[in-house]
Amino acid sequence: MKGAQGHRKQILMDARECVPGRLTGIGRVLLGLADALSEVDWIGEIILAGASLDAVPPKLMAKGNITFSALPSSFFFSELALTRLANKSVDLLISPYPKLPLFGFNCPAAHFIHDILDLTHPAYRPRAKRYFDTWRLRKALEKADLTWYDSEWSRKETLRYTGLTGRNPKVRHLGIGANFKDRKDQDPWVTGRHALEPGYILVLGNGKPHKNLGVLLEQTSRLKRPLVLVGVSDQYRRFWISRYPESKAAWIGQVSEKDLPFILGNAFCLAQPSTAEGYGYPPLEAMAVGVPCVVSDIEVLVETTGGNALVADPQDGPSWLKAFELLEDEGVYQRQVEKGRRWVEPLLGRAGWEGHISDIMTLIGGI
């Protein structure tokens, strides 16, 4: 990819989301984009600024043009250090968050808005920090040279809440790791280690209130297949069990990125019963491994799955049972598998980030 004449570009990425043993959706975005950018010939160096080098995959750090800069663990000093790094020698600062460095920056900046649920969802609105975060969101929208939205829904929600969408807004669906492609194979070691028998209904996510796990937990006695919930923290596992003490489900905490394709590939289907999302990685990753999905009939999940998942009412448990029953028909099941694979194919691997890279090239140019 070639552009206007100039030096090879240096990009600084806020990598504080990368924490050892916990790979979030935002972390996947950060590492996926960094990997794609590392293959662009007009980029000279990518600096990942974070708290722990151990959280960055060794394969990524083995690339010759990716370096790591350690940030202090405290909020104040990490913000100050990030500002110092974002000096005039950096061609672009990329933040995977709605916010930008608290103490400013001296280079072009791009940031992501995955969602603003922490500001708008009823379960999170009472937080005192909401006012500070709203201020930072507005400042970032006013100052960023480029604002990426994961979905049109996130763009509309941000406009509704702030009256702003940014100086240069772009809606770009996110890339999916190539390691998820066609991984319907089974790994006995992985399933055995997690005590899983193939054929379960899988839910992936942190289990926060907007994940709406109750609509499935209240139906476990009627499900024909086991319900397996992966990635729910101990705090939210206790939250849901206290509300649905009679439910029967297998709870598995954080799993490695290496294990995840196999856990997905051994599922009968993936369910995402959320009442709100900004994007929704799990359904797309499931589609990539050849597993059909049932998602909440909400605007954002219909958008990001391209209408290629079965939908159910997030407030109506029996509608989920009906959707799962539909998938027991082999013909329906295979049609959903093929529709899903076709939808996610353009998003797999580095190709899934071409839109973001094109935006960067337009913003800062290439050699």
Q: What is the pLDDT of residues 106-142, one digit of tens each?
A: 999 999 999 999 999 888 877 778 899 999 999 999 9
Distances (CA, A) of 50 to 22, 95, 171, 220, 242: 14, 12, 26, 41, 36
Whether 263 and 192 map to the same domain: the answer is yes
Q: What is the CATH number of the domain that holds 13?
A: 3.40.50.2000
Whether 236 and 279 map to the same domain: the answer is yes
**What single letter denotes the amino acid at residue 250?**
A
pLDDT of residue 4: 40
Range scoring the smallest mean pLDDT among 2-6, 26-30, 60-64, 355-359: 2-6
Whether 167 and 189 map to the same domain: the answer is no
Domain of 32 in residue numbering reads as 9-175+349-364
Q: Is 157 part of any domain?
A: yes
- Angle, helices 330-344 vs 281-289, to 10°: value is 110
Distance CA 284, CA 248 (A): 26
Kindly state the percentage of the chain with pLDDT values over 70: 95
Distance CA 63, CA 285 (A): 25
**Average model confidence (pLDDT) for the chain?**
92
Whether 184 and 273 map to the same domain: the answer is yes
Strand partners, 45: 10
Q: Is 4 part of any domain?
A: no
- Structural domains in the chain (count): 2
Residue among 323, 325, 292, 326 nearest 309 (CA): 292
Higher-confidence residue of 235 and 194: namely 235
Higher-confidence residue of 3 and 329: namely 329
pLDDT in tens, 1-13: 334 445 899 999 9
pTM of the predicted model over 0.75: yes
* Mean pLDDT score, 289-301: 97
Whether 231 and 195 map to the same domain: the answer is yes
Q: Which residues of 197-212 are buried (b: 16+ CB within 10 A; e: fewer)?
A: eeebbbbbbebbbbbb
Q: Is 1 part of any domain?
A: no
Whether 168 and 209 map to the same domain: the answer is no
pLDDT in tens, 259-280: 889 899 999 999 999 999 999 9
Q: Is 277 part of any domain?
A: yes
Strand partners, 267: 200
Distances (CA, A) of 115 to 142, 148, 305: 17, 11, 17
